[in-house]
Homo-oligomer: A and B are copies of this chain.
């Protein structure tokens, strides 16, 4: 499984990614992410684009320019020509967010067939934070350390107790007299959402970048963001030109609404702040002002 062997291939190969192959990249307290296989590199994007557009010649510089052009103009299909397969260990509540990305293939560890390991995610104390008031789905400031420790103590007790009962249900506990021997598919419903699961997950590069755009975003839940960031590191190594274009044209981009475009144009041609500003919500205006250093 850890693939100690090496082979000879005529397929496009990325030496830097080969070095990373099969290695467990740690995420969260017990999670990880391993690149198990991949197909294609930056040149595969160019190859597919050229059959469509026939454009360009073949220096590395021109390939890079073509990839930027494709990313900027949302010619997305060439990015589907690269594929990556990951082995991921992740808490169930993260898996529930992740699986919403439908354009991917997945084989998850089945708790109907096998017994889940006794591993749970508990946040680091500094990540035990209060509910954000302005972001209805987010976290704000850490709670005091001693309170965080209390929360974590309760979480640990609950997870472990429920797991202990899970084993008793299954008939796998230490004390035989407590064993029930019920089916795995039923016993597992007693487990907590922070229990770790694992899966093989395969996606093409276009859909992977869509995943990253959403899940590496500050609005994504911290835990899935940790996985997204690790994947970003992988993508940077795998397809450096595509990654750079992604950072420039998608991840670091700003989309302005029709009204915002008008407001900025008025400012730039010296007309001052247009009365269109009233059409923005307070929050949208503050966001715009912050990005562009407006009064």
B-binding residues in A (CB < 8 A): 1, 3, 5-13, 18, 21-22, 36-40, 44, 47-49, 51-55, 65, 72, 74, 77-78, 80-81, 83, 85, 87, 91-93, 95-96, 99-100, 102-103, 105-110, 112-114, 121, 123, 127-132, 136-140, 143, 147, 150-151, 154-155, 158-159, 161-162, 165, 168-170, 180-186, 188-194, 198-200, 202, 204, 214, 221, 247-249, 252-259, 261, 264-265, 267-269, 281, 284, 291-294
Contact present for A189 and B183 (CB under 8 Å): no
Provide the residues of chain B in CB contact with A54, threshold 8 Å.
Answer: 109-110, 113-114
Name the 8 nearest CB pairs between A and B, nearest first: A252-B258, A80-B105, A7-B13, A39-B39, A54-B114, A112-B137, A48-B107, A102-B102
Contact present for A12 and B37 (CB under 8 Å): yes
Provide the residues of chain B in CB contact with A3, threshold 8 Å.
Answer: 10-12
Contact present for B9 and A181 (CB under 8 Å): no
Provide the residues of chain B in CB contact with A170, threshold 8 Å.
Answer: 131
Instruction: Report Cα–Cα, A162/B163, bound state, in Å.
Output: 13
Q: Write the nearest CB–CB distance from A158 to chain B, whole angstroms.
A: 5
Q: Write the nearest CB–CB distance from A256 to chain B, whole angstroms.
A: 5
Q: Write the nearest CB–CB distance from A110 to chain B, whole angstroms.
A: 5
Provide the residues of chain B in CB contact with A38, threshold 8 Å.
Answer: 11, 39
Provide the residues of chain B in CB contact with A193, threshold 8 Å.
Answer: 92, 188-193
Contact present for A109 and B51 (CB under 8 Å): yes
Provide the residues of chain B in CB contact with A112, threshold 8 Å.
Answer: 136-138, 221
Contact present for A258 and B264 (CB under 8 Å): no
Q: Write the nearest CB–CB distance from A40 to chain B, whole angstroms.
A: 6
**What are 29 pairs between A and B in contact, CB < 8 Å?**
A3-B10, A6-B8, A8-B13, A11-B21, A12-B37, A36-B47, A37-B44, A39-B83, A51-B109, A51-B198, A51-B200, A54-B114, A72-B284, A74-B214, A81-B85, A81-B202, A83-B83, A83-B202, A99-B99, A123-B186, A129-B182, A130-B182, A131-B182, A140-B183, A158-B161, A158-B190, A192-B193, A202-B204, A249-B257
